[in-house]
A and B are shown apart, each in its own frame.
Chain A
Amino acid sequence: GDSVTQMEGPVTLSEEAFLTINCTYTATGYPSLFWYVQYPGEGLQLLLKATKADDKGSNKGFEATYRKETTSFHLEKGSVQVSDSAVYFCALSDREGGSEKLVFGKGTKLTVNP
């Protein structure tokens, strides 16, 4: 079945450091890929998404590129801020595989220190 694997955390960085959170997937169809963010005590929010190969999703300084050849969707940010401290989830939606469901990774907790 479909699955998402993302790097285990927690990740701790200093402010202005470079961030990469790795995400790889397996899917039977041609999925859409997502990054969601969960701030403490809140629900998940869509951060960015990409629906086809080589698409780059971007939002709030975060970027991720849909790489079909490596089945990856790594999240990057050039300079993190304390306010980026949250849990980040990679997810896929495989409609061609016959489902509207989102399949989530286990989440990566990011802490950014001043």
Chain B
Amino acid sequence: DAGVIQSPRHEVTEMGQEVTLRCKPISGHDYLFWYRQTMMQGLELLVYFNNKAVMDDSGMPKDRFSAKMPNASFSTLKIQPSEPRDSAVYFCASSSPEGVPQFGTQYFGPGTRLLVL
């Protein structure tokens, strides 16, 4: 299995620009999570999906962030406009459906390191 795939791995952009991060979950997983990791705040959950539907986006700044999952194998996290404080590593993770032995375990991608100048 290829694991969770994220792209790009690194992104450098200027303040005010739109940034789109992409994630392909493990095949068969129906939960998908987006996290942000910074030195100051640690690991924060931004949003998560179940069967493509948003279950909880309370951690996501709604004014500039948006997350979508148009199909079971693809999700995007968009920041528009980006700001320097958005600089962080963004992780995508996925987990199995209920009833599978690995249910509850999240598998993380390698992350996208974002720098907003």
Contacts and interface: CB of A to CB of B under 8 A. Distances in A.
A49 B101 CA distance: 12
A42 B95 contact: no
Interface residues of A, number: 20
Given A44-B91, A104-B42, A107-B43, A99 B108 contact: no
A45 B4 CA distance: 11
A107 to B, nearest CB: 6
A100 B48 contact: yes
Interface in A19-67: 32, 34, 36, 42-46, 49, 51
B48 A44 contact: no
**Secondary structure class of chain B's binding surface, majority of residues:** strand
A43 B26 CA distance: 15
A111 interface: no
Contact of B105 (A34, A95, A101, A104): A34
Nearest to A93: B104
Given A43-B111, A44-B91, A102 B42 contact: no
**Secondary structure class of chain A's binding surface, majority of residues:** strand
B48 A101 contact: yes
B55 interface: yes
B108 A44 contact: yes
Contacts of B91: 43-44
A106 B42 contact: yes
B29 to A, nearest CB: 12
A88 interface: no
Nearest to B42: A106
B21 to A, nearest CB: 13
A81 to B, nearest CB: 23
22 contacts: A36-B108, A42-B110, A42-B111, A43-B93, A43-B109, A43-B110, A43-B111, A44-B93, A44-B108, A45-B108, A46-B106, A46-B107, A89-B43, A95-B104, A99-B56, A100-B48, A100-B55, A101-B45, A101-B48, A104-B42, A106-B42, A107-B42
Interface of A: 32, 34, 36, 42-46, 49, 51, 89, 93, 95, 99-102, 104, 106-107
